[in-house]
Amino acid sequence: MGVPVDKLSSLFPPRMTHPDERTDFAQRWEELNLRAGEVLWGEGELATEVAAARISLDLLLDSAPRAAGYRPIPRFPSTKIDVALAVGREVGVGDCVAAIERCGKGLVVSCELFDVFSGESVGAGRRSLAFHVVLASPERTLGEADGRKFLRRVERAALDLGGELRSE
């Protein structure tokens, strides 16, 4: 997956730019040596923690507004559990999130990736994916036993993915 340059360049220049500046956009694309059909950004992890993006205000302003949403304040507190899975590099983050959500049996409110680690302690060809998982029930307060059952299910799901639940 990636964004072909010819698709990106068709988004620019924005309508709000001064006519004299519009030719600068085409020159800037040429300076970057980007050609139609090339992929500006592709799949995988970035080599650094720095990334750049161009956002078309025209597309944002032309998009349909979202309806305002309301979520009532929960009656029962949530529980946050950090989960780290050591899996093969071929296992996608989305696969891990889906497995974690299935293990929650409807109790997972959110699942956020917060760390990716590769190193000798994880093993060759593997990486550790760490998630903040928030569990909550609309019917009761979750206890430690609920958290332990959830982690046992996550451990089995990690094995199904060819990995393991990290405990360190």
Range of the domain at 160: 79-166
Spatial contact of 51 and 88, defined as CB atoms under 8 Å apart: no
- Residues 57, 83, single domain; the answer is no
Q: Are residues 88 and 162 in the same domain?
A: yes
Domain total of the chain: 2
Q: How many CA atoms lie within 13 A of 16 on its CB side?
A: 7
Query: What is the mean pLDDT of the segment spanning 117-136?
Result: 93
Does any domain span residue 72?
no
In a domain? residue 68 = no
Tens digit of pLDDT for each residue in 32-86? 444 444 444 444 555 555 656 677 777 777 777 777 788 788 999 999 999 999 9
Specify the pLDDT at position 94: 92
For residues 99 and 149, state if they share a domain.
yes
Q: Cα–chain-centroid distance for residue 49? A: 14
Query: Nearest CA to 39 among 7, 14, 74?
Result: 7
Q: In whole angstroms, what is the distance from residue 146 CA to residue 15 CA?
A: 55
Q: Which residue has the higher pLDDT, 19 or 142?
A: 142
- Shared-domain flag, residues 83 and 58: no
pLDDT at 44: 52
CA dist., res. 136 & res. 92, Å (int)? 25
Average pLDDT of the residues in 102-114: 95
Closest CA to 111 of 95, 123, 127, 125: 95
Same domain, 95 and 55: no
Q: Based on the fold, state whether residues 85 and 157 are members of the same structural domain.
A: yes
In this structure, are 138 and 85 located in the same domain? Answer: yes
Query: Angle at which helices 93-104 and 144-160 pack, to 10 degrees?
Result: 140
Cβ contacts of 118 within 8 Å, gap of 6 or more: 126, 127, 128
13, 35, 62 - which closes a domain: 62
Q: Which residue has the tokens 């609309």?
A: 138
Same domain, 89 and 160: yes
CATH number of the domain bearing residue 132: 3.30.70.380
